[in-house]
Amino acid sequence: MTKFKASTRKDLPQIAEKLKLDKEQILDMQAVSAVLPFRVNDYVVENLIDPSDVPDDPIFQLTFPQRGMLEETDYQRMRDLVVRGASETEIKLAADEIRGKLNPHPAGQMELNVPKLDGEVVAGMQHKYQETVLFFPTQGQTCHAYCSYCFRWAQFIGDADLKFASKEAEELARYVRENPQVSSVLITGGDPMVMKTSILRRYIEPLLAEDLPNLHSIRIGTKALAYWPHRFTEGEDADDFMRLIGEVKAAGKHLALMAHSSHSRELEPDIAQLAVKRLLDAGAVIRCQAPLIRKVNDDANVWAQLWRKQVQLGMVPYYMFVERDTGAKAYFEVPLARAYKVFTEAYSQVSGLCRTVRGPSMSASPGKVLMDGITEVGGEKVFALKFLQGRDPSWVNRLFFAEYDPKATWLDGLKPAFGEDHFFFEEPTKKNQPESVRKP
C-alpha cells in the first residue's frame, strides 16, 4: 500500500530542496507558516506541482505559504522572530496577535449558526440554512494537505476555541429528527476523509438507523480526490468506504461527495481518475466546487478546462465561489467584476452538461449571494445579485441591485443601487454601525 507522508512547518527546509527553493523563499514561508497553517504531502509535491514553474505554479500557490499572505508589517515581525531564532512561545504569542486580525470565523458562523437541543448549544454543528445541517466530526478536523486560501484555517492552529468539532453522533441524529425541515446533512471539517471508514461509520450509521424520513441526503466535503486519491483506491479501508456508500444508498439516501476541485491538474493523475471511477461505481455522486483564487485559477480557460474534465469523468460542476474575507484574503481575492467576467467567459466555452455550475457565489452572513450580472438600469450601471440561499428562507431566489464598483471584492463592500440607503436584508438603523455589528 502507498504510504501517506505529510510535511509541516518544521519540514519546510527539507521539502523546499525538492522544489529548488532558495534561502530567502524558505524564510518567507517559515515566517508566514508561523501564523497560517501549512501541511503538504509527498503526493502533492511529486504529482501536482511542476518544479520548473515554482513559485508561479498554481498548485504550489495553492498549498505553500507566500510572503504576500500577511500584511507587510506582520510579515516583517514574524520574519525577524524566525531569523533570530526566537522561542516557539514568543513566535506563538506574536502569531496569535496577528491571527486575531484575520477574521478567523467569517459570516458570523461562531455566533449565528450554532444549533441547540433542549436549550443547550450542540457542539460541532452549524445550522444556517433550514434544509442543511453541517457536522464537524472531531477526528476529521485536519486535511491531507492544507489549501493556503482556506476559510477554515482557524481550525488547524491548535486553538480549541476556534474549532467546530463533535463527538456526539447521537446528538446529530436527534437534532435531525427534532428538526423536520432538515433534509440534508453535510459532514465536513477539515476533511472527513482523513478518518478511517470505521470511524466515519459511527457518524453515518445512526442517521440510517433512525427513522428519519425528512433526511434525503448525506454529503461529505473532501479534497482527498486531489490531495490523496489513494484513500479511495487502496486497501480494505477504501473497500469499506465503497461498501458504506452502498449502505447509504440501500437506506434510500443520496450520498454526495462535495469535491474541492481547484484546478484540472488535480484530476490528471491516473490514480485520481481511478478514485473517481470507484466512487461513481459504488453509487456516489461527485459534485465539484472551489473558490476563484488569484494566482491559482483566476483564468477563464482554467475553469472551462476544469469543468470539461469533471464532466468527462462523470462528476458534476456545482459551484464557483468567491474567496471569503478571512485569513490571507488580500493575497487571493479577485474583484467581483472580474470574477463575473472570468465565470462568464468560462461558461460560454462549455456545453450545457458543464453549465450545472453556479457562480460566482459569496457565502456571506445573510446567505449565498450570486453575482448574477453587470447591467444598466435607468442609466445606472449596477451589479445584479441574487440569493441562492438565505438565512431567511424568504430571501431565496430574490434579486437585488448594488452600485457597480470595479474594486469591490465582497458583499460588505457593496452599496445599494438607485439611491437606497440599505439593502432589503439590512435594517436601516444598522447602516452606519460597524461591520461586526451590522451583519444580520
Domain-located, residue 344 = no
Q: How confident is the model at residue 158 (pLDDT cuts 50, 70, 90)?
A: low
- The CATH number of residue 290's host domain is 3.20.20.70
**Same-domain status, 112 and 49:** no
**Same-domain status, 16 and 118:** no
- The structural domain count of the chain equals 2
**Same-domain status, 82 and 150:** no
Ranges of beta strands (E only) in 208-280 are 217-222, 254-260
pLDDT at 184 over 60: yes
For 1-20, give the secondary structure using H, E and C.
CCCCCEEEHHHHHHHHHHCC
Q: What is the pLDDT of residues 364-405, one digit of tens each?
A: 999 999 999 999 999 999 999 999 999 999 999 999 999 999
Separation of alpha carbons 415 and 382, rounded Å:
10
Domain-located, residue 415 = no
pLDDT at 155 over 60: no
CA distances from 418 to 335, 370, 388 (A): 22, 20, 23
pLDDT at 152 over 70: no
**Same-domain status, 124 and 243:** yes
**Same-domain status, 225 and 302:** yes
- B/e letters for 120-136, b = 16+ CB within 10 Å, e = fewer, are eebbbbbbbbbebbbbb
Q: How confident is the model at residue 427 (pLDDT cuts 50, 70, 90)?
A: confident
Residue 335 DSSP one-character state: -
**Same-domain status, 225 and 263:** yes
Q: Domain boundary residue among 77, 99, 121?
A: 99
Give the CB-side neighbour count of residue 136, counting CA atoms within 13 A: 20
**Same-domain status, 89 and 233:** no
**Same-domain status, 153 and 205:** yes
Q: How confident is the model at residue 150 (pLDDT cuts 50, 70, 90)?
A: confident
Beta strands 217-222; 125-126: pairing state: unpaired
Whether 224 contacts 260, CB under 8 Å = no
Domain-located, residue 36 = yes
Q: What is the pLDDT of residues 271-323, one digit of tens each?
A: 999 999 999 999 999 999 999 999 999 999 999 999 999 999 999 999 999 98
**Same-domain status, 245 and 220:** yes
What is the extent of the structural domain holding 22?
6-99
Domain-located, residue 264 = yes
Separation of alpha carbons 353 and 311, rounded Å:
7
**Same-domain status, 237 and 126:** yes
Q: What is the pLDDT of residue 162?
A: 46
Q: Domain boundary residue among 83, 99, 115?
A: 99
Q: Domain boundary residue among 45, 66, 99?
A: 99
**Same-domain status, 118 and 75:** no
Domain-located, residue 332 = no
**Same-domain status, 125 and 77:** no
Domain-located, residue 414 = no
Give the CB-side neighbour count of residue 429, counting CA atoms within 13 A: 0
Q: How many residues comprise the chain?
A: 440
Residue 100 DSSP one-character state: T
Degrees to nearest 5, angle at CA 359 with 358 and 362: 125
Q: What is the pLDDT of residues 411-423, one digit of tens each?
A: 999 999 999 999 9
pLDDT at 435 over 70: no
Rounded to 5 degrees, φ, ψ at 195 are -80, 150
